[in-house]
Each structure stands twice: as structure tokens, then as C-alpha cells.
Amino acid sequence: MISSSILEESLKSGRTGVNFPEGLMETGENPLVTVRTGTPIPKALIHQKYGAKALYRTEEVKESVENECPGLVIPQKSKPLYRCCLELPEFSITSDTFTRKKDAEQSAAKMAIEKLGIQPMRNNLTVEEIWDELVSRLSYLFTDEKFLLSSHPLSSHFRAALQREGNLCGSVPISILAACDVKLINLCKSIDLKSELNPYFTISLIMKAARLSGSIRVSEGELWIWRLNPPSSEIMQTYSDINSGSTEHVQMEAILIPNSMEKAVETVTLNISSKEYYLDVIAQKLGVMDCSRVLVSRTVGKASSEMRLYFPAPEDPSLVSDLSLELLSPANETFSQGTSFNVRASYFSGQNIHGDVLLASVGHKWKSPDLYHEDVSLGTYYRMLIGRVPDGNYKLSREAILAADLPITFTTRSNWRGSLPRDLLCMFCRQHRLSEPVFSTESTDTSGPPSQMVKTSKRLKSSKSNEETEIGNGLIDAGNVESGIHSSFGCELKILSKSQDVVIQYSTEDSCRKQSDAIQIASLKVLTWLKKYFKELDMPVEKLSSLGNVHGIYIDAQNFSKEFALCASVHSVPQKMVFRKCSSLGGLPCGDQSDAKQGHGANLFNVEGEDSGISPTTGSLACVSYMVSLSREGKYVGEPLESKDEFEFEIGTGAVIHQLESCVTQMSVNQATRFVTEMPSKDLVLAAAGEAAKDLSPLSLGSIPVTEGCCLEYSVKLLRVTEPLEDRIEQALFNPPLSKQRVEYALRHINESHASTLVDFGCGSGSLLDSLLEHPTALEEIVGVDISRKGLTRAAKIIHSKLSVASDPGMQYASIRSAVLFDGSITDFDSRLYGFDIGTCLEVIEHMQEDQACMFGDVALGMFCPRILIVSTPNYEYNPILQRNSPLNKDEDPEEKSQPQSFKFRNHDHKFEWTREQFNSWASNLASKHNYSVEFGGVGGTAGVEPGFASQIAVFRRNTQHQADECAAKGDPVQPYEVIWEWTNSKSRSAL
Ligand code: SAH
Ligand code: MG
């Protein structure tokens, strides 16, 4: 019946697959009704498969932003946002946030469908039947009078068309049909997938179908379409009634994206009077003849928005008839010859867009006769831009564009702030029109020697992979806890193109205790690598793959360059605006990363406020308030760019720019300071600037030296510190806190043994040494060793202030003659610490790899040879009690709660946690090897009662017949440790 070249082509290629179109969520259809054309919408599909077993839970996400900084106005809207969690028998999935609940639900359903790999049923329509559907859909739209009164967004366009005077009365631009009617869009896509890429091609399909129908008029050579019979007078009457009700003058901001990359984007204002059709106004702005020559992209930006790209139809249609995005590659000849493609706009929509383009958020929504519109500011544009770089969405989700950085490590879910790595990666893939990432996890049960390792779980089928189906395999069952068996997980991650070609592939080692963590870690790894790539987009393909290899990431260079073709042109616009070295304000080195990376050495700077003694350490959560402003020669320029009253991040994971972390770790609660950094990329600055972006817009022109000599100045105040998880649990569940009990345990032994010399191996911030000074002992010489400068600096501060207060005979620590802190590894021997009376090593060995812990045992007993050595470490078997009762678990995610059998380590820095048996065998072997006796005890819990103490402790004693010269190293002057701080009692010195 229908014969056209397009049809034949499609039949040949056999492409009738259907993808969900963007903007589908806007249909507002009853989810349980299958669209007549055979493309069910997401919730309907989920309903078909799961019925009542699919549970939608929608929650409101607070996004309100208050601002307490006086004199500061940061314009930020606060409207309710919704997120939907869809629970299916196999897994649950959470949507992004939307302004409407039902969008969140559809989005969750859509994500689930993608995850399940369900293909919507096409009811096996042939291409011919699809053409029939297309024709009948068009006829319906143009002949059914009731449709004119429906709540479909198109009906407003029909109304506007009927308002037109002269012979264009009733004419509708085909482009609006091709953009607003989901059914038409889907049908066109089923005929030829090219339609998804090329709005102009979709128009040609619709035109063809209109000609095939007898009831619609299409103008030759023009892009109008209209009905043959005008609607009845009643309808016309209703129309004028509706219109008289909704007459409002609209003024809105839009963005002009010039075709030339040389030209910066700029804000334009659209003035739409009550009598005007908004597309006519857009046509005028674009300088085209009439609105039929305005092409309309799919929606870009958030799924719930009406943000679209408007651009002129090509004068020469042959030019666009068979274009694909691949042609946009800079490597392609057509591209280099300078085409009319608008690279930035094409990148945003994933469609072929040409000419100067208007980005506007305007249009008709379902069920509302009023014109919907929203300003698109420069800030919005730049946020969309940075949302497309690998770490951009992290910064956006933290609402801290200038302060946040994508963390380099994933520790725990409860410590992670902002969108999770997996979600960030999924979003990144969606935005770059790749398939959803495929995760397959694999677990290994480890118990005893490595030879007994068993691979227990099979790889999931990639098409149906999902992270939770195998949870059962990932659990440690209660019986296993005692025998020390635990599972660990690895994750294989694949990123495929829309046509299912492998683009990136990566596998982690099987080292995660939780399946979902393995997925997060793999996602973060790939994101981090992508971030590196986006920093150097002109990287040659060979370098790309070899750089990937170094990180264990496989990249298919060809597919990769094809998929990321546009990124180079869009994102490698000169990034740094100003290269001036900032004079540092208050002495914090800026632009010098090497210093901060080492974790110490960033100079102390001018800090305001008393030292409260409470400072963040690795793993703790720091909460700060901050404000970032543009400043020149120490003076602020313009409005602040970004500020937050409360911003929490985990120390040690790189979750913020390094200058901020380096500065915060040197502050204590209630202190404030300022530092400056070089100007980051203009995208970041403008994205952060919000409304202020307008004032800064000359900045985007590059040539106008508004920012010359400018720096970003950060003022920061440390509001509070939340201790690492372990400490919080210990304080919450034990009275006195476990750490205090450990100190008391050590004290008993110190006093019983009348020790006069003590070394604390792994002293950290000196909590033991500090507490010792609170009690009367016979100690004369105390030493601490640690590898963390930060810890040692803090220890030095605390002990120094205590010891220097007074060394009156009345003081508890009057006996102390000297105190020293060494920077060094306790697996190295230093002869200055040979033969001490007592050595303590509390909660340290689990922070080392197991072989290092063994090495420490050998060095301590075989070389340092203290009379007594006290070693404590967590008892893994006690974790169930801690984690079940922990008051902290209430803010943990429900997924973690639903796995009561999986016990994590108490601190993410722990490399292992031993059962009693493991600890006993380590200690007993060590003791017998080095001629020591060993005795076991602990704190928290009761001896002999399952599952033992919370902290298990071994007390080693040198055997009396142990000859001092058995120690291999007694007198050799080996001194690898570095003195960090030293104190000697001046009175005792003068007495000498
Ligand atoms: N003993 C302290 C600190 C425990 S935290 C207390 O009970 O509060 C563990 C400490 O071990 C950290 O400060 C860490 O820096 C230190 N550490 C880890 N490996 C070390 C090594 N090889 N040598 C010295 N210290 C080490
Ligand atoms: Mg510990």
C-alpha cells in the first residue's frame, strides 16, 4: 500500500526497535494504559510484569537554602522536589529528583526497565503497519474536534494556529508536531532510528505521512501542515473563551548559542505579548521568515523541563537529509571544512542542530492552557555544561561547585555526601547517550589459607545485571562469623554504546565486603579516569588506551572516540582565564598542589579564633561554612560566587578542593580563616555564580579583562567535627568509652610493672600519652611514634600545652623528665627505643596490611625488646553487637539494614579485623618465636562470655631468661625516625 524510499530503506535495515524518547515522562498518560501504537510507557510496562508487586515510594527531597551570612544575597529557589524509590522483588531503584511526583515515578520505572533490559513490545508491527499508524495518528490529530479541546500540549498550538489571520489560519509548524507528540515521535523512530538524531528528518517523515492521508494539507516546499475542514463554530467559541482567560504578557530570558565556537553564549530576552504565538517570537529572534522554519529539538536538561533548542531549518534540505552525529566528529572532513553545525547545541541534545540556536524553556504542558515558561540564565547554561563533565554532577549535587571535588575514594555509604558514584556514572552515560552501565559482581569466600578460596557466584548476565539479585551470596551468615569466613566482592563494569558496542570496561579486585560497595568503587574508578580524560581532551587515541591500561581500564579506542567526538570541541575551550600566580593571603600556598597532597606541610596560616582543640582527622566529617568571592588585590569584586552555611565532607577522601581540606585539617572547631586560589575554568565560575553570572558575563568573552589579576578568595569557618564511625560507636555504646577503657587497661600494667619508660607505637594524636599525664605513674620518659604528621602535630600541641603548664612537684606528671614524638613507621627499628619498660600499640595493627602487622610483631619483640608489650585490636566477632545496637545505624540506608548479617569493619581505614582465634594465633606464634609469654584480655564485654571483648588485648612479657643480647639489634645506632617534637623538664635538667 505505501511505497516510499524511506520505507524500503527501513525494511532493508530492519530497524524497528523502539527506544524511550526523551520527554516521554511528560506525556501524563494514565500509566496503566498502553499507548495505542504499542509503545507502553514505563509504569505500564512495570505493571505488566509485576502488577502489585511493584511498590512506588515517593519522598520529598528538601532543597531549601537559607542564608545566614549577613549582607549576602545568594539567589536560590527553593521548591519541593521528589524522588521515587521503586521496589521490585529483585531490586529497588531510586530516581533522580523531579518537581512532580509522577515524573519521579515514571523515571524510576524507566530506570528499572533499562536495568531489566526489557524491550517494549511492538506488537510485532511491520514497518508498513507503522506507516499506517503514523498516518492515522496524524489524521486523528487534524480531524478530531475533541482533540482540539483536549489537554494535550499540541492542542494549544492548534488554538494558536486558528487564531492566525489570512491564509495561514489553522496552519501548524510540522516541527512542533515532531517535538511534542510522543506517539508521532515513537512511530517515526520505529520507521527509522535516524529520526532520533535528526529533527529535520522526522519532519520529512511526517510530511510524507500527511500527504498519504487524505484529510490534511501540506504546503509544497514549506513546513506547515493544516486541516482541510475548519472546526465547528462551537469549538471556535470555546477557543476564544479559553484564550481570553489566559492573556498575560510574558517576558523571559533565553540563551543564544552562536554557531561559531568563537562567540560566547549570551542572554537574550523574549517578549511575548498576550496576542502573540511564542514560536513567532522565537522565529523573529532567530531571524527566520516564519515559525514553520523554526526547528525544535527534544527536551534537554532535566526530564521535567520544557527546555529545548530552537534553530533555523536549513535552506538546502539535501544538506541535512542523511547526517548522523558521527559526522560531527572533528576528525570528519565535513566538520573540518566548517559546517553549519552548532557543536554546543548538538552536544546538549545529541541531535543534529545547526545555525545560531536559541535555548529556551517555554511551551505548553499537559492540562494547562497557560504558557509555561522559565528563565534560562547563563548560570543555567553553564551548569548544564559542567553537569556533563565526569565530576560535574557531583559538584552540582553537593551544591558546591567551587568547593567540592569528586572524592578519590569511596569509604562508606554513610560517609558519602552527594550523589553516589554509581548514579553519577549512570547520569554521565545518559547525558552522553550511552547505554546504562552494566555491573556484574562476583564474590569470593575467604577462609583460612588462600588456597581454600572458592569462587561462589557466577557472573550475572550482562543484559539483566543488577546489583542486588545475589545479595544472598554476599552475606556472612552467623555461623561463618565465628569461623572467620567472609565473602568479598569484585565488580565488572561495562559501558556500552547505544548500539551495544563496548566502550569502556573495568574490573575491580574481589576485595569488597559488600556487593553494592564494589559497584560504587568500580563506578568511582571509571569516573575518576574519565575526569582525567576530560582534563586532556586532545589526548591522542593511543595515549588514551595506554593511560587506561595503567589504571586497569580497558578502552575501545575507536568506539570511545566515536562516542565522545563532540566533547573535545565543547569542553576544551581554553579553561584557565587568568594565569597570574596569586600572592597568598595569609601564607597558604596556592596553586602548589604537591605540598597539600602529602597531607602535611601546608603552612599554617592566619587563623582567627581560639584553638578549641577539636580538629578533624582522616575519616572524620568536617562541617564548615564558607563563602567564595572573586577578589583582586585583596578586594572583593562583585557579589560572592558561592556560599554555604553548612557543608559537611569527609576528611581524607579528596571530597573538596585540596586547599580547603588542607586548611580545614589545620583548624579547630570555631576557628575561621581565608585562603586564595587561582581562577578555575570559566565554566565553573559561571556555573557557580548563579544570577551573578550576568555581571560576570564579560568574563566569558575572554578579551575583556574583568578578571585580570583576580583570584578566588575563600573564607572558611570550621563549625563542627564528627568523629570517625568507630569512635562514635565506641562512645555511644560503652561507658566509659572504649578508648578510655583501653587507656585504663594500659595504666594498670604500667603501674603494676613500675615502668619508667614507655613507647606508644602508633600514638596517633596522642590520646594515650595525654591520658597518662592525668594519672600518677612512675613514668619518666614517654615516647610516641606514628607515621601521620597530622596526628603527631596534634599530639605535640596537646602534650606540649599540658607539660609546659607546670612541672611543679604537685602535678601528676611531675615525674616526667622527657617526652619525644617521632615520625616513623613502627615496622622499622630505631635503636633509640630499644629495651623500654613498656610498649603500647593500641588499635593500630588493623590499620596496616596483615603482613605489615606481622612484621611489626617481629620488629617489636625481636628488636625493640620491651619488657612488656600491650597490643589491642578490634574483635571482629563483636561487630554484630556494635552494628545492631548502634544508634548510628538509624541514619544508615535501609539496604544496609536489610542485611543484618553483613558486618562491616568498624573503620574504613581498617585493613582487617580479626576474630579471637586469628588474634590468638598471631600473638601466640609471635610470643613463642621471640621468647615472650602472652596473656589475653580485653575491654568492653566480659571475659568468657560470647562473643568475647569488643577490643581484644594481648599482653606480651619478656621471659626472665630472655637475654638482652638475644635481641638482634640492641646497640646498633639505627635511627630512621625523625624527631617531630621534644620536651625535657628544665628542672630535672638543671638538677643534672
Ligand atoms: N593508638 C592511637 C591511634 C590509633 S589509630 C589511639 O588508640 O588513639 C591508628 C594509628 O596508627 C594512626 O595514627 C596511624 O597513623 C598509625 N599507623 C598506621 N600504620 C603505622 C605504621 N606503619 N607506623 C606507625 N604508625 C602507624
Ligand atoms: Mg582502629
pLDDT tens digits, one per residue of 521-537: 999 999 999 998 998 88
Confidence band of 173 (pLDDT split at 50, 70, 90): very high
CB 914 within 8 A of CB 482: no
**Torsion region of 382: left, alpha or beta (phi above 0 gives left; psi -120 to 50 gives alpha):** alpha
Residue 636: partners with Cβ closer than 8 Å, 6 or more residues away: 629, 630, 713
For residue 376, pLDDT beyond 90: yes
Query: Looking up cell 620491651, which residue turns up?
Result: 866
Q: Is residue 170 part of a domain?
A: yes
Best probe residue, ligand 1, of 727, 841, 847 (max atoms within 8 Å of C-beta): 847
pLDDT: is 480 or 760 the higher one? 760
Retrieve residue 838's grid coordinates: 613498656
Give, for ligand 1, the residue of 618, 787, 939 to mutate: max count of ligand atoms closer than 8 Å to Cβ. 787
Residues 339, 210, single domain; the answer is: yes
**Could you tell me if 141 and 111 lie in one domain?**
no
Strand bridging mode 371-374 / 454-455: unpaired
With respect to residue 744, please indicate whether it lies within any of the assigned structural domains: no
Q: Is the CB of 763 under 6 A from ligand 1?
A: yes
Ligand 1 site, residue 779, Cβ cutoff 6 A: no
* Spatial CA neighbour of 500 closest among 444, 556, 579, 548: 556
Query: Each residue of 263-305: pLDDT tens digit?
Result: 888 899 999 988 889 999 999 999 998 899 999 999 998 767 8
CA geometry: angle 975, 980, 986, nearest 5 deg: 100
pLDDT class of 553 with cuts at 50, 70, 90: very high
Q: Which of 232-236, 504-508, 832-836, 849-853 has the lowest mean pLDDT?
A: 232-236
DSSP letters for 697-752 = HHHHHSSSGGGTTEEEEEEEEEEEEE--HHHHHHHHH-SS-HHHHHHHHHHHHHHH
Domain harbouring 587, CATH code: 3.10.50.40
pLDDT band at 120 (very low <50, low <70, confident <90, very high): low
Q: What is the mean pLDDT of residues 955-983?
A: 78
On whether the CB atoms of residues 491 and 508 are closer than 8 A, the answer is yes
- CA–centroid distance, 735 to ligand 1, in Å, is 24
> Is residue 111 domain-shared with residue 177, that is, in the same domain?
no
633 and 487 within one domain: no
Residue 914 DSSP one-character state: B
Residue at 652 is within a domain? yes
| CA dist., res. 51 & res. 232, Å (int) | 43
pLDDT the model gives residue 263: 84
Indicate which CATH number applies to the domain containing 95. 3.30.160.20
825 CB near ligand 1 (under 6 Å): yes
Ligand nearest to the CA of 767: 1
pTM of the model: 0.66
Which of these three, 328, 343, 376, is where a domain ends?
Answer: 376
Q: Answer yes or no: do 190 and 214 share one domain.
A: yes
Residue where one domain finishes, among candidates 59, 86, 116: 116
Bridge partners, residue 644, by sequence: 626
Residue 978 lies in a domain: no
Domain extent, residue 694, equals 583-725
| One domain, residues 240 and 99 | no
Sequence-distant (6+) residues with CB within 8 A of 45 are 109, 113, 118, 120
To which H or E segment does residue 759 belong?
Answer: strand 757-761
Residue 195 Cβ inside 6 Å of ligand 1? The answer reads no
The ligand that comes nearest to the alpha carbon of residue 599 is 1
Say if ligand 1 is within 6 A of residue 848 CB. Answer: yes
Q: How many domains does the chain have?
A: 4
CA of 703 to the centre of ligand 1 (A): 53
Cα-to-centroid distance, 786 and ligand 1 (Å): 6
For strands 838-842 and 757-761, give the pairing.
parallel
Q: pLDDT at residue 596 above 60?
A: no
- Is residue 907 in some structural domain? no
992: in domain: no
For residue 258, give the C-alpha cell: 552562536
Ligand located closest to 939 CA: 1
793 lines ligand 1 (CB under 6 A): no
Q: What is the pLDDT of residues 882-928, one digit of tens each?
A: 777 654 444 444 444 444 444 677 777 788 999 999 999 999 999 99
- H or E stretch at 880: helix 879-885
Cell for 214? 487524505
Q: Which amino acid is at 257?
A: I
Q: Has residue 849 been placed in a domain?
A: no
Atom of ligand 1 nearest to the CA of 856: 22
CA 145/CA 156 separation, integer angstroms? 13
| Average pLDDT along the chain | 78
**Contacts with 126 (C-beta within 8 Å, 6 or more apart), sequence order:** none
| Whether residue 670 is found in the same domain as residue 712 | yes
Q: pLDDT value at position 318?
A: 55
Tell me whether residue 927 is in a domain: no
Q: How many residues does the chain have?
A: 992
| Residue 874 Cβ < 6 Å to ligand 1 | no
Strand partners, 764: none
Same domain, 110 and 131: no
Q: Is the CB of 743 under 6 A from ligand 1?
A: no
Strands (E), 781-928: 781-786, 818-823, 838-842, 868-874
Do residues 157 and 264 share a domain? yes
d(CA 392, CA 407): 12
Residues 133 and 266 in one domain: yes
Question: Cα of 860 to ligand 2 centre, how many Å?
Answer: 19
516/521 Cα distance (integer angstroms): 9
Residue 352 has pLDDT above 70, yes or no: yes
Same domain, 198 and 336: yes
Please state, as a whole number, how many other Cβ atoms lie within 10 Å of the Cβ of residue 361: 22
pLDDT at 812: 62
Beta carbon of 860 within 6 Å of any ligand 1 atom: no
Q: Is 839 in the pocket of ligand 1 (CB under 6 A)?
A: no
